[in-house]
Structure 1
Amino acid sequence: MIYLSLSMANNQRNFVKKGKPFFYLADTVWSVFTNATIEEWSDYLDYRKMQGFNVLQINMLRQWDASEADLNLQPFALLENGDFDYHTLNEAYFDRAEFMIQMAVERGFIPALVLLWCNYVPDTWAEMFQKGNKMPLDCVESYVTYVVNRYSRFEPVYLISGDTDFPTERANAYYLKALETVQQLSQASLTALHIQGRLREIPEVFEQHKGLGFYMYQSGHNSQFQHFAYEIAQHFYHKPEIRPVINGEPCYEQISYSRKVYGRYTALDARKAAWQSLLAGGGAGITYGAHGIWSWHKKGKKFGIVEGEGFDSPYDWRTALRFKGAWDYSFIKYLFEMYNLIGIKPLDIVLNKTEEIRAAGNENTLVLYIPVNTKVRLSINVQDYKFTTIDLAERRFAQTEVNVQADQSVIDMHGFESDVVIIGTK
């Protein structure tokens, strides 16, 4: 079977597949290779396919903070102290991963495989929780070569890093070796760095590297910093090295606030992070997460085998699979495709004294996201546009009047009780 991989659009702002704009709608399923049975994986894939998801972000190795699993699956042989023998691959593990990838690809998903989560690399922030069991630098090339050669026929995206900062030259050498190995073996493969939450700077050696395909950031799960959803999107959008921008880990639905802060993110929170990311520069797509899916949690099992960032317990994966927020993200994809919004340009046209309201547009369409109802003032004349207000909670569409005054425009309060998107078309 031949699969047509993603490639870059001519504008360098979004992806195309089979010559058509492609909206990257991913789910985070970091832990499936170690935690999910084949039957569970099949059920999951069928449900997400129905919802319109088209990318799956998966950790190639064991996720350090996954939930406890019934399966005893390890990617490498074990030493007497329980650490990995990184010189000895467990072929059975990678056989099973290959079968699971094939199941996903046959249903139309693109796998986005994380090669080196930060806990496998020395000196990263994960050192405080997991001091040992690091991959030797001299094993990186052989491991990445094995993965690329084995799975290249599926044409995956390669996420070179997972949740990483870039603390030292020693740590950076791991990611650089992995990136250059991928480029050497599969030059057409799209690559990105999945970086630590709220991080907005990557070392120059990566930013200017021709092998880096797109920018991926995470606005993350800290309740104090949800504004980073749009701030970091803006930051990467305006980089001199132009690439598509993806928020690869906004706040997960029903995950608790990190650092043991009481509270959980709702579907509204996750939806808000998505729309603000997309209209602030991350218009190539968005990633969803459900608290229970990413760690593949099962009721009665332990969560957080390695002490981590202080999240409250997840839901069973079967419950988390059906969180309503995933349908919100599916609806986003529907709107972006219907209105030709993929790769949309952020616009600085909102006169209200808040950055929470976001605006973006292209030559024919104007889009506004309004998280809290208010009168919206714009710095442009929009008399040539016809506007529709979309209630995102109930997915209701309403005709919308706009008052134009000289070179400015005013959209009055809408009639809904939740967040809305207002779309104007010429």
Structure 2
Amino acid sequence: MNRFNPRLGVDPSGTHLIADGEFVPLIIDTAWSAFADPSEDEWRTYLRTRRRQGFTAVLVSVLPIPHDRDVRPAAREPHTHRFTRLDDTFFAAARRYTRIAHEEYGLRLMITVLWNNYLPGTWGAGLTPWAVMPADARRAYVAKVAETFGDLEPIFVIGGDDHYALDSANEAYLQALATLRASAPTCLFTTHTAPNATLPDEIADRLDLHLHQSGHNAENQELTWRQPARYLARSPRKPLVNSEPPYEQHGIVNGHGRWSREEVRRASWTSVLAGATAGIGYGAHGVWMWHTPAGEFQARATSLEPWPWQEALAFPGALDVSLMARLFVDHRLHRLLPAQDLLVDPRLRLAVSPDRALVALYLPFAVEAEVRLDLSDHRVTGWDLAERAPLVPDLVGRTVFRQLTSRGDQLFVAERRT
């Protein structure tokens, strides 16, 4: 890799990724259709914006997501004639876009290889049976992905939005993983999961890091703190990221309205303090499918109509992620483990490092908070997350945080003095 985007590895602790020995938080934006839709100038505009905001990675899909995309004229496609021929022009452009992201902007692409719709029997194939890829075409496609991207060292994301409950689909993912590992041995590998997915050991054991998804459904928001426990219970530990909390301004599935900046931020901080400490994912509803007035979004019935991508790129929640990116690095938040047993009020979130040198307290609303820890030898800093502004904490004795005048959520970080 070039010096601007050095080779990624997994820290021996299993908690986070490193490059040149330094912690690299995965601050992931979502642009699934990046290879299909934006012009090269648009791609650079997008990358420049997200780089400036502190993002470190972009999640994309080589294959279009057939039930969840913008259909519009002139979209680039990886296949022609019903999977009978791979389009070399598409793959050449995708390789060029990857090099631009890596070499000009230092943003690592996380390239999703097999979205579940393309495998028979999956829930996505039930929605789009015409999109199921024959086995021989699938193998040729995976080989082309390896040839196109392997030397550029993206993070390969083997599957897309699956529950990994179907043996035949899992076998296809494992075959793809084996092909890609053989061709790109220096790359890292993970997979993208649907909400409530349970990864089988034969897949989980072959991955370098884990992505989980709390998603966009009203009934699934407890997954921000329930799902990480399943991954933390695995051995050995591997870096974990909630790659898909609700996207900003996405429709609240099985609910009413749209996910606000405040709700996205709450899901994100809850995820991190629940143990998904290797980074965070973000999506702007309009960017991830690259929506334009000429496009027809296929999932508007549940996800609601997107904003044009240029407007969605300016959603304020991306700046909340910017602050989170800074705090990840400043405080090395990858050290945290959930510690709800040390909280008096279970509505709040608390995480501590194993040696208790680092403590992080998240308040989703202004309230007094008591922790069962002696913080007298810690330096405590605070943030009004809605305003993205520092807060001066008001501690009573060693353990009680008095309620502060703040209309939004708050974060307090305590670090032991050395």
TM-score under structure 1 length normalisation: 0.92
1:196 alignment counterpart: 194
Say which SS state the counterpart of residue 36 (structure 2) adopts: helix
Distance (whole Å) between structure 2 residues aligned to residue 278 and residue 185 of structure 1: 33
Choose the corresponding residue for 1:271, options 261, 265, 268: 265
Q: Give the superposed CA RMSD.
A: 1.8
Contact 2:57 2:108 (8 Å CA) reproduced: yes
Contact 2:248 2:284 (8 Å CA) reproduced: yes
1:116 alignment counterpart: 114
The amino acid that maps onto 2:290 is W
- Kindly report which structure 2 residues correspond to 1:238-277, keeping only aligned pairs within 5 A, or say none: 238-259=233-254, 261-277=255-271
2:244 corresponds to 1:230: no
1:25 alignment counterpart: 27
Identity level (%): 28
2:249 corresponds to 1:219: no
The amino acid that maps onto 2:13 is N
Say which SS state the counterpart of residue 111 (structure 1) adopts: strand
Residues matched between the structures, number: 411
Distance (whole Å) between structure 1 residues aligned to residue 40 and residue 274 of structure 2: 39
The amino acid that maps onto 1:410 is V
Distance (whole Å) between structure 1 residues aligned to residue 58 and residue 245 of structure 2: 15
Contact 2:146 2:180 (8 Å CA) reproduced: yes
Q: What are the superposed Cα offsets for residues 208-244 of structure 1, whole Å, 9 maximum, x if unpaired? A: 33xx111111000001221111111222122223101
- Quickly say closer, same or farther: Cα 1:416–1:60, change in 2 above 3 A: same
Q: CA deviation at 1:309?
A: 7.1
The amino acid that maps onto 1:251 is P
- Quickly say closer, same or farther: Cα 1:166–1:341, change in 2 above 3 A: closer
Q: CA deviation at 1:387?
A: 1.5
2:73 alignment counterpart: 70
1:386 alignment counterpart: 379
Distance (whole Å) between structure 1 residues aligned to residue 112 and residue 89 of structure 2: 19
Contact 1:34 1:73 (8 Å CA) reproduced: yes
1:207 alignment counterpart: 204
Choose the corresponding residue for 2:50, options 45, 48, 54: 48
Contact 2:342 2:372 (8 Å CA) reproduced: yes
Say which SS state the counterpart of residue 360 (structure 2) adopts: strand
1:335 alignment counterpart: 327
Contact 2:34 2:43 (8 Å CA) reproduced: yes
Say which SS state the counterpart of residue 32 (structure 1) adopts: coil
Q: CA deviation at 1:344?
A: 2.5
Q: CA deviation at 1:355?
A: 4.6
2:96 corresponds to 1:102: no
Distance (whole Å) between structure 2 residues aligned to residue 149 and residue 286 of structure 1: 29
- Quickly say closer, same or farther: Cα 1:237–1:309, change in 2 above 3 A: farther
2:87 alignment counterpart: 90
2:62 alignment counterpart: 60
Say which SS state the counterpart of residue 171 (structure 1) adopts: helix
- Indicate the larger mover: 380-389 or 339-348: 339-348
Q: What are the superposed Cα offsets for residues 61-108 of structure 1, whole Å, 9 maximum, x if unpaired? A: 122211123324221121xxxx332xx211011011111111111210
Say which SS state the counterpart of residue 93 (structure 1) adopts: helix
1:134 alignment counterpart: 132
Say which SS state the counterpart of residue 400 (structure 1) adopts: coil
Contact 2:336 2:358 (8 Å CA) reproduced: no
Contact 1:347 1:361 (8 Å CA) reproduced: no
Say which SS state the counterpart of residue 148 (structure 1) adopts: helix
Choose the corresponding residue for 1:293, options 287, 291, 297: 287
Q: What are the superposed Cα offsets for residues 378-410 of structure 1, whole Å, 9 maximum, x if unpaired? A: 1222211121221001122222232347xxx22
Q: CA deviation at 1:375?
A: 1.6
Q: CA deviation at 1:197?
A: 2.0
Distance (whole Å) between structure 1 residues aligned to residue 193 and residue 260 of structure 2: 24
Say which SS state the counterpart of residue 275 (structure 1) adopts: helix
Contact 2:125 2:132 (8 Å CA) reproduced: no
2:401 corresponds to 1:411: yes
2:390 corresponds to 1:400: no
Q: What are the superposed Cα offsets for residues 344-396 of structure 1, whole Å, 9 maximum, x if unpaired? A: 23223443342542323364321111102222121222211121221001122
Distance (whole Å) between structure 2 residues aligned to residue 385 and residue 128 of structure 1: 54
Structure 1 unaligned regions, length at least 5: none
Q: CA deviation at 1:286?
A: 0.6
The amino acid that maps onto 2:23 is P
- Indicate the larger mover: 31-40 or 64-73: 64-73
The amino acid that maps onto 1:56 is V
Structure 2 unaligned regions, length at least 5: none
Q: CA deviation at 1:294?
A: 0.7
Say which SS state the counterpart of residue 36 (structure 1) adopts: coil
Contact 2:58 2:110 (8 Å CA) reproduced: yes
Contact 1:160 1:194 (8 Å CA) reproduced: yes
Contact 2:211 2:241 (8 Å CA) reproduced: yes
Contact 2:350 2:359 (8 Å CA) reproduced: no
- Quickly say closer, same or farther: Cα 1:66–1:270, change in 2 above 3 A: same
2:351 corresponds to 1:359: yes
Distance (whole Å) between structure 2 residues aligned to residue 74 and residue 299 of structure 1: 20
1:7 alignment counterpart: 9
Contact 1:35 1:70 (8 Å CA) reproduced: no
Say which SS state the counterpart of residue 422 (structure 1) adopts: strand
Contact 2:335 2:353 (8 Å CA) reproduced: no
Distance (whole Å) between structure 1 residues aligned to residue 181 and residue 145 of structure 2: 13
Contact 1:274 1:286 (8 Å CA) reproduced: yes
1:179 alignment counterpart: 177
